[in-house]
Amino acid sequence: MTRPVATYLMLLVLIALMLAITVRAARRTHNAADFILGSRRLGAWTAALGYTGGVTNAWVLTLMCAAAFSWGMSALWLWPAMLLGCVINLWFVAPRLRAASLAQSHATLIQVLSADAGGRLQPAVARSAVFILTVTLLLLASAALRFGADVLQVELAFTGGGVIMLTLTLIVISLFSGGLFAASLCDAAQTALLLGSAVLLLPPAWIAAGSWGELWAGLGALSPESLDIFGGRSGVAAVAFVAGTFGLGLVMPGQAHALSRCMAVRDEAALGRLRWIALGWIAVLLAAVLLCGWSASVMYAGLEDSRQAMIALAMRMLPLWAGSVFLLALAGAIMLGIASLLLTVSTSFALDLGYGAASSSLARCRVALIIAAALLCSLVTYVPGTSLDRGFFAFTALGASLGPLLLVRLSGKRIRPGSTLGAMWSGFILSVLFHLLPDAPGDFLERVLPFIAALGIALSGGERRRNPDRADRSEETIHDRLPI
């Protein structure tokens, strides 16, 4: 098969995949409940692959491969760090979040977090959370669009702006028709493309690198630090590096776009299967991209941009037609990941900005989707910045802002409204400040300290709920304060 034929066949496959997703999801979306949470009817596999695509999407895995290329064996810490975050999410957060959302008819993560804020401060809490969610998720989406467009531009010589607009248009049409079902199918397609890409790329890369001993020797020839599990660091610097790496797992409980699948899953049995499917899938994908990154560092040590490690392997190790198929699959997977981000932003606009779940409508959700897509288009067009900086900042800032509040809230403690606002904004503002400072070992300051500060404020402002019928002390009457 020639390279042009393989390229255009793969393009047709991706377009047909988007059309199939749109048609299938549209048949299952008839009202706002279907659009927002799929009427809580997601099966275990659909929800699991949706969750996997939310926390370890193609863009994140590409950066994991780049870290293995640059760091050497010290990138191994990423594997347990990400799995630890998934275990916290799937075994602690998911069942409690699903139960809380069912008990109080909450459809978004923000509704769960602001439920105890009381009538006076609840709008401020909800609007603050919507602002942070919108900024971070649109930054993540713009990073994915730019990186995917760069990959396609290398392979097909398309203009970056044209690729971005075409992709965004197709995804918005799919979400407009199918809501959460469409986003979940996009994530399932994304994870399937990623697994297929890993299966296509890893065997020839591993064969070329040789046995594990030869790979180890090759890394050692590059530099002694490449074989050190701490990257040549010692003492406080080594501890900070490991803690900063595990910070990527700590911020997972705040990723609202992934946790929506846990709220939408069909029943407890499906949730139980979701845990093991997602954990196994993520473990395999992370191991595959780390091995690809180490192999690329041995064979192509002179590569200037570590983010091109997977692309370099594909173009140099595979036949020309197979390399083209790999690049198109990777670009398609990266861009499909923005579906969940856009959907989460649009549902927050429709439900959390002064509107309750009972008053939502399908038309309002779709209008909110168009607004979110317009904001994303403006961000990609007019806001400069590298995708790497945007993505890491957005991921950690969102987790530091919402994750500590969610963990404390689901542990059974009521958080005072003022402490809720303080924890949320401290996590976000500290993430911004530390992002602007020079990087510490493992980027410890940006990935860990904002989360710890927000968690401390949430814990100090929390109390065991004595009377579940009272949402806030500001709503007390004199009868609540007088002894009986």
Residue 484: which pLDDT band, with cuts at 50, 70 and 90?
very low
Q: Which tops the pLDDT comparison, 383 or 174?
A: 174
Nearest partner of 420 among 16, 123, 167, 195, judged by Cα: 123
Residue 167: which pLDDT band, with cuts at 50, 70 and 90?
confident
Q: So what's the pLDDT on residue 471? A: 41
Q: What is the overall mean pLDDT for the chain?
A: 82
- Report pLDDT digits (tens) over 338-367: 899 999 999 999 888 864 444 568 888 999
- Report pLDDT digits (tens) over 126-145: 899 999 999 999 988 888 88
- Is the predicted pLDDT of residue 474 greater than 50, yes or no? no
How far is Cα 219 from Cα 201, in angstroms, rounded to an integer?
20
How is residue 328 written in tokens? 């198109």
Structural domain contains residue 471: no
Nearest partner of 428 among 403, 458, 400, judged by Cα: 400
- Report pLDDT digits (tens) over 324-337: 788 888 888 888 88
Structural domain contains residue 354: yes
How many CA atoms lie within 13 Å of 353's alpha carbon, on the beta-carbon side?
A: 14
Q: What is the mean pLDDT of residues 403-410?
A: 92
415 membership: H or E segment, kind and range: strand 413-415
Structural domain contains residue 243: yes
- Is the predicted pLDDT of residue 8 greater than 80, yes or no? no
Structural domain contains residue 469: no
Q: What is the mean pLDDT of residues 441-458?
A: 84
5 membership: H or E segment, kind and range: helix 3-27
- Report pLDDT digits (tens) over 276-312: 999 998 998 898 888 888 888 888 777 777 777 877 7
- Is the predicted pLDDT of residue 20 greater than 50, yes or no? yes
- Report pLDDT digits (tens) over 27-81: 988 888 889 988 898 899 989 988 988 888 777 888 888 888 888 888 899 999 9
Q: What is the mean pLDDT of residues 387-392?
A: 69
How many CA atoms lie within 13 Å of 1's alpha carbon, on the beta-carbon side?
A: 16
Structural domain contains residue 479: no
Q: What is the mean pLDDT of residues 163-185?
A: 88
Which of 41-45, 85-89, 93-97, 311-315 is predicted with the least confidence, judged by mean pLDDT?
A: 311-315
Q: So what's the pLDDT on residue 155? A: 53
Which of 203-212, 321-330, 424-433, 441-450 is predicted with the least confidence, judged by mean pLDDT?
A: 203-212
Structural domain contains residue 482: no
- Is the predicted pLDDT of residue 160 greater than 80, yes or no? no
- Report pLDDT digits (tens) over 98-107: 998 998 888 8
Residue 161: which pLDDT band, with cuts at 50, 70 and 90?
low
Domain total of the chain: 1
Q: Which tops the pLDDT comparison, 96 or 417?
A: 96
How far is Cα 152 from Cα 7, in angstroms, rounded to an integer?
11
CATH number of the domain at 204, please.
1.20.1730.10
Q: What is the mean pLDDT of residues 372-387?
A: 80
Q: So what's the pLDDT on residue 223? A: 78
Q: So what's the pLDDT on residue 476? A: 42
Structural domain contains residue 476: no
Q: So what's the pLDDT on residue 210? A: 66
Q: So what's the pLDDT on residue 453? A: 93
DSSP state of 353: S
Residues spanned by the domain of 106 = 3-464
How is residue 2 written in tokens? 């020639």
445, 397 in Cβ contact below 8 A?
no
Q: Which tops the pLDDT comparison, 457 or 319?
A: 457
How far is Cα 39 from Cα 446, in angstroms, rounded to an integer?
37
Residue 91: which pLDDT band, with cuts at 50, 70 and 90?
very high
Q: What is the mean pLDDT of residues 159-184?
A: 84
Structural domain contains residue 475: no
Highest mean pLDDT among 295-299, 314-318, 388-392: 295-299
How many CA atoms lie within 13 Å of 284's alpha carbon, on the beta-carbon side?
A: 16
How is residue 84 written in tokens? 């630890």
Complete DSSP assignment for 128-149: HHHHHHHHHHHHHHHHHHHHHH
Q: So what's the pLDDT on residue 63? A: 82
How is residue 300 written in tokens? 């192509």
